[in-house]
Amino acid sequence: MILYIARHGETDWNRTKRLQSRSDIPLNETGFSQAKRMHHYIRCAGLNFTKAVVSPLIRARQTAEIILGEADIPIDFDDRLIELSFGEFEGHYEAELHDKFEETFGEWRRQCFLDAAPGGESLDEAVDRVSSLVHEIRRTNGNCLIVAHQAINMALMAAISQRKDIASLLDFKQRNDQLECWDLLRGTRIERVKI
């Protein structure tokens, strides 16, 4: 069984380096274009899914709807895929956070969210949240597409691979135009495709 993990397309907040976390921000023009390219790649590569599991936030929903197009594939919107809570950092620009929370923000980013932002959620908590979803998907037949967010996708890959060291987490970071392909039974990455 193969699990395909896509990150939502770009939003205006991504473009301006504003932390959106759980804020429900739609795709921008670039994001729609990225999702269309992902749809084209998946169709041309002949990738098949029996189901899709998607974050209920609008940017992930829009991306999934474009990727799947007219395909008759059931979509489950699952709250476990909502982005990691960035707590007090949510809604702020990165430059502002570097000034206001110089040491805390920099360390939080360098540690790949292992420690929670003030008032937020740690990556370990997110791994716990998505582990049950990974187990559910492993019990189904066929390939699955997940469309979610950078940090929660990192948590998914950590749960699948059983690796949460900084080097692995840095490797798990995903751009808006990348598709991850994982062998769920072996817990290993097959490939990362930049669309």
Q: Taking the CA atoms of 116, 121, 124 and 127 in sequence, report the sign of the dihedral they define.
A: negative
Rounded to the nearest 10 degrees, the angle between the axes of helix 123-138 and helix 150-161 is 60
Do 137 and 144 form a contact (C-beta atoms < 8 A)?
yes
* Residues forming a β-bridge with 83: none
Q: Which residues are catalytic?
A: 8, 83
Alpha-carbon distances, residue 36 vs 8, 144, 158 (angstroms) = 11, 19, 28
Count of all residues that appear for the chain in the document? 195
Is residue 152 within 8 Å of residue 82, measured between CB atoms? Answer: yes
